[in-house]
Amino acid sequence: MEQEELFLKELTDARGVPGNEEEVRAVFKKYAEPYANDIFYDGLGSIIAKHVGTGGGPKIFISGHMDEVGFMVTQITPEGFIKFQTLGGWWGQVMLAQQVEIKTAAGELIHGVIGSKPPHVLSAEARKQPYEVSEMFIDIGATSADEVKKWGIKPGDMVTPYIEYRRLNGSKFLLAKAWDNRIGTAVSLKVLENLAKDGHPNVLFAGSDVQEEVGLRGAQTSSHLVNPDIAFALDTGTAGDTPGMTPKEADSKLGEGPQILIFDASMIPHKKLLDFVVSVAEELSIPFQYTVITGGGTDAGKMHLTRDGVPSLAITVPTRYLHSHTSVIHEDDYHNTVRLVTEVIKRLDHDKVMELRSY
């Protein structure tokens, strides 16, 4: 496996549900340190790497988010099963019979599987309905609550999906857990590396926020701390290139470039910034796709409301099977997102930012 893939594997293998992102934070710090003048944190644990360019110009903030959708232990039954709370948006149909890992306070990993009543004992009508998440449980092979406690499990422990990173059959399609949003975090780190090596005219803040999946919380605190002139959220977006999608739903395809959000449920992007990013992509023949997300948002939803308002935009990597144990991205989309964001920031000098922020 090449170094670039090992980097992506390390990010996606790390476990980090909302409020419990320390493994991902450690990976971010490891890769950011060689290129950062300073690394600091907000009070919730979002991490930010600062690099001062040659011009010492405006403050540009780019950020993914560290957290992945997952679960939290809430109860141990007398028989030794685990009841749990979902963290982030889950669709019940993708959860049953999936493997998970519980991380104890001591750092031990306990393997389990999400279970339910078997369909054989359900009525014909009940089998037609989605199974209630509240009725699901995690089976870890224990026989009593005392045995579970001896293994170190207690309420509040983090539960994450279990899946192995892999390249799908020698293709450019990459399968892993937590692409949402380790791929945005990877983009943030690679752009920091590129600009530290190549130079840029501003003060770059490359970060990764906590608790995006439960309400864009880390972006609110990190953006307040950085107080940027321009901000970009780096995230994932839905792909529409699988069977059954309508023409309206199929506006984005894997392998055809990063998505530039023109609307989502958390914000309307800054028009001049949007037009500027599109012009850079067109100038350099970087493929991109316009996209709309009506039922969700990104960290840009909090970034643009920081202090007196910050021109903001979300740039996302199209992803199949979001908010499940297993998701798929295309390698070229990742590289083109890194290239686009790198080239945009190179052009965001003092004069350009003043132009974008003038009304």
CATH code, domain carrying 273: 3.40.630.10
Residues 74 and 56 in one domain: no
Residues 62 and 78 in one domain: no
Do 106 and 43 fall into the same domain? no
CA–CA gap between residue 70 and residue 269 (Å, rounded): 29
Domain range for 78? 70-161
Q: Is 147 a catalytic residue?
A: no
Residue 291's pLDDT is what? Answer: 93
- CATH code, domain carrying 124: 2.40.30.40
Output 114 or 249, whichever has higher pLDDT: 114
Residues above pLDDT 90, as percent of the chain? 91
Q: pLDDT for 286-324, tens place per residue? A: 999 999 988 889 999 999 999 999 999 999 999 999 999
Pair (261, 287) in one structural domain: yes
Binding-site members are 65, 180, 213, 235, 323
The pLDDT tens digits of the residues spanning 319-342 come to: 999 999 999 999 999 999 999 999
Residue 111's pLDDT band, with cuts at 50, 70 and 90, is: very high
Residues 6+ apart with CB under 8 A from 144: 78, 79, 80
Q: What is the pLDDT of residue 117?
A: 87
In-domain check, residue 47: yes
Question: Contact 158/85 with Cβ under 8 angstroms?
Answer: no
Please give the pLDDT value at position 1: 78
pLDDT digits (tens, 9 = 90+) for 24-35: 999 999 999 999
The binding site for Zn(2+) comprises 65, 180, 213, 235, 323
Taking a C-beta distance cutoff of 8 angstroms, is the pair 325, 162 a contact?
A: yes
User: Of 282, 273, 255, which is closest to residue 315 (Cα–Cα)?
Assistant: 273
Q: Which of 127, 161, 195 corresponds to the end of one domain?
A: 161
- Of the candidates 4, 193, 212, 282, the residue annotated as catalytic is 212
Report whether pLDDT(248) > 90: no
Task: List Cβ neighbours of 235 (8 Å cut-off, separation of 6 or more).
Answer: 64, 65, 180, 181, 184, 212, 298, 299, 314, 315, 316, 317
Examine the domain organization and report whether 217 and 99 are in the same domain: no
**In one letter, which amino acid is 208?**
S
Does the pLDDT of residue 249 top 90, yes or no? no
186 vs 126, higher pLDDT: 186
Residue 56 lies in a domain: yes
What integer pLDDT is reported at residue 354 of this predicted model? 97
**Domain-located, residue 121:** yes
pLDDT attached to residue 121: 82
As for how many domains the chain has, the answer is: 2
Q: Are residues 149 and 187 in the same domain?
A: no
Separation CA 266–CA 269 (nearest Å): 10
Give the pLDDT score at 204.
98
Helices in 143-249 by DSSP H: which ranges? Answer: 145-150, 179-198, 217-226
